[in-house]
Amino acid sequence: MPSAAEEAPPRGWRLAVTNYTVAPKGWANGPSLKIGVIADIHAGGPVMPARRIRAVAERTNDLRPDIVVLLGDFSASHKLKTEEVAPQDWAEALSVLKAPLGVHAVLGNHDWWDDHDAQRTGKGPVLSRRVLEDVGIPVYENDAVRLEKDGKPFWLAGLGSQMAFISSKRKKAFRKFQGVDDLDGTMAQITDDAPVLLLAHEPYIFPRVPERVALTLSGHTHGGQVRFGFSSVTRTLPRTGKRYTYGHFCEDDRNLIVSGGLGCSVLPVRVGVPPEIVMVEVEDAAEANDVRSVAA
């Protein structure tokens, strides 16, 4: 029977599935793992009404991931929304996600910015976290958990947003932000040598991520959101330029994959960057090298 996404695809909306296969050095002796990645939903019409969010969830299920990760920015704060989606409604749409190793989430800057109580008091938990936990999806804010597949363990770690609080009222290009991320404290929770998968909404942290982390998954940038050729119109990375705007990066045996996400910020428009589900297949580095040696 066809999925909901196949039965009634949203008109005028193309959902891409982008696949990566990586065998990080730090994943030696780790399990072969298929990760479904959903980022930057920014719930609200016209781009991400509730029915579309559910269609994305159903399509992700069709891809049969071992684990699903949600990379934050569930909330949409742009003023050109044609349809409000209540947090309880987008959380309910995501509740249909299923995977053997579960569904796991981190929060993004908009989840903090759009929670006026959190901005006023300087603390959470924000509404996005509460509604996700209400539907059984755990939210990681500087937390780590040890998981296992096929008898092989790995750690899943998730950071708090690096831009949770707006500490300056100046124009957007000159704003300053305060994060709630704690990379060192998160890594201190890892108690053995099993490989580590890190979720960080913003990719800015990547230069500081230790080699101990085999793969970092991020969103936030929307892949530029509006791109003509190789140029991005939007200023998505004010703190790092275009260094980690989109795709797979490998530096000093550390790997980062940045999803282009699904929704929009500032304007409800995406050009040259279709909304996407990302599927990442992580292979045991030792086994992958053995296979390549035999093939050669």
Q: What is the pLDDT of residues 174-228, one digit of tens each?
A: 568 899 999 999 999 999 999 999 999 999 999 999 999 999 999 998 764 455 4
Q: Which pLDDT score, from 0 to 100, does residue 82 have?
A: 75
Q: How confident is the model at residue 266, as a pLDDT?
A: 62
pLDDT band at residue 78 under the 50/70/90 scheme: low
Amino acid 45: pLDDT: 84
Dihedral angle computed from the Cα positions of residues 268, 272, 275 and 276, in that order, rounded to the nearest 10 degrees: -160
Using CA atoms, how far apart are residues 84 and 50, in angstroms rounded to an integer?
9
Number of H helices and E strands in the chain, helices first, is: 8, 15
Task: Find tokens 């002796």 and name the residue.
Answer: 29
Average pLDDT value for the chain = 85
Kindly report, residue by residue over 266-280, the tens digit of the pLDDT. 666 665 578 999 999
Percent of the chain with pLDDT over 70: 80
Indicate the number of domains in the chain: 1
Higher-pLDDT residue of 242 and 186 is 186
For residues 115-123, give the mean pLDDT: 95
Q: Which domain holds residue 288?
A: 4-295
Residue scoring higher pLDDT (277 or 287): 277
The SS3 call for residue 249 is strand
pLDDT in tens, 16-28: 999 999 999 999 9
Here the CATH number for the domain that contains residue 107 is 3.60.21.10
Q: Provide the pLDDT for residue 25.
A: 94
User: What is the distance between the terminal CA atoms of the chain, rounded to a whole angstrom?
Assistant: 42
- pLDDT for 239 equals 45
| Rounded-to-integer distance, Cα 219 and Cα 157, Å | 15
- pLDDT over 80 (residue 12): no
Tell me if 97 sits within 8 A of 65, measured CB to CB: no
Report the pLDDT averaged over residues 69-74. Answer: 98
